[in-house]
Structure formats: structure tokens, C-alpha cells
A and B are shown apart, each in its own frame.
Chain A
């Protein structure tokens, strides 16, 4: 069965520090991969996506992610975190099953940014 694991429930970084959020997936074929961000009281906003091609993808707000097939990972990175990046981050996989795509989400990582 398809699944997504985000091993870190909480991460705290200082403003200006670099950030890496981990995501591992389980899926038999090449998946569609996504990172979403959710600010308090808001819906989910897409940060970036991987469908095929270049394994390093750039997203909005200065985020990037790298797809590593050998490690079944799609980690999210940002070189310098801003206080406004504090939010919940979700990794998701789009997996084909029974003729339709299902989007499966990880449990999320809450990012706290220290001034």
C-alpha cells in the first residue's frame, strides 16, 4: 500500500538558518510528489511538485525539494528561513490505484521559527 512518512513531528530553527524537512514514501512506481504548507486557520497551499524530469524542483517562497528514487525520499529545503515560514508542512504522494489517482498525505511537520 502507498504511504508517506514524515519522521519529524516538530522542528525548530532560528531565523536565517537553513531548513530541511524529511519525507519518505512507499509506492511501487514513480510517484507524483508534492509539498504543501498550511498556515494556522488556512487551507493547504502548494509549495512545489515533482512529476518527472529534473529531480531538483524549485517552488514558491524560496523552497526546493529533491527527489531521490534510491532513497524513496523527497526532502524539502530552504537555505534561509524567515519568521513567516512558521507553519505546518505536508508531503504528499499521488498514487494510481484502481484507475484513479489518490493523494496520500504524511502526518505533517510543524515548523517553529525563533527570532
Chain B
């Protein structure tokens, strides 16, 4: 049973299109994240939600809109896709609070914008 699962695994689309990536975790964690990994493997945090509340919002274009319907799900919608959005997007989760733990990652969603 996959702990952090994200779909789709691959996305190929044209510039200007809108796309979404979904993420679900079954670990009972209260905090979820989106990370972007570029072609040089650099991992940069984009957003973090704690119990459905946005707590980290790094400098990300407002074409990116996260949504957390409940604490087990965090989706990422991207409007008007650009070439520079091509990357691997990782969802992750952790527990924060009295005991803050490590990040658990999904397998990634590779987005290619043509």
C-alpha cells in the first residue's frame, strides 16, 4: 500500500494549457508539501499545507494554485503552462508538532511542456 501516491506519473502538454497533479497520503500526517525538482536535480519547496491550511508559500508564480480538500490530499493546479515549468514535481508529507518527523515522498510527476 503506497504511503504517498501522486498521479499522473507523466504529463506531456503544450504551452498555455492547464494541468493538475493529485497527491494522497495514507500515513495520517498533518502536513503535506509540493517540491519542484529541476533538470539539475535541485529540490525547491513550493507549498506546504498543515491540516488544510497553507503555511508555506514560496516565491511561486500565481499560475500555480495548490488545494487541500482534507489533510490527506494536496493537489496542484497549474494554469497557462510555460516551458520553464517542465520539471519533476514531488508531493511529500510529514508530521509536525510535538514530534516532527521526516518527509515521505511520492514517486514524482514528470511534467514536460512543449
Interface set of A (CB-CB < 8 Å, partner B): 32, 34, 36, 38, 42-46, 49, 88, 90, 92, 94, 100-105, 107-108, 110
Contacts and interface: CB of A to CB of B under 8 A. Distances in A.
25 contacts: A32-B100, A34-B103, A36-B103, A42-B107, A43-B4, A43-B90, A43-B105, A43-B108, A44-B43, A45-B105, A46-B102, A46-B103, A46-B104, A88-B41, A90-B43, A94-B102, A100-B56, A100-B96, A102-B45, A102-B56, A103-B45, A103-B94, A103-B103, A107-B41, A108-B43
Interface residues on B, range: 20 to 34
B107 A43 contact: yes
A7 to B, nearest CB: 15
DSSP class of B's interface residues: helix, strand, loop or mixed?
strand
Give chain A's interface secondary structure class: strand
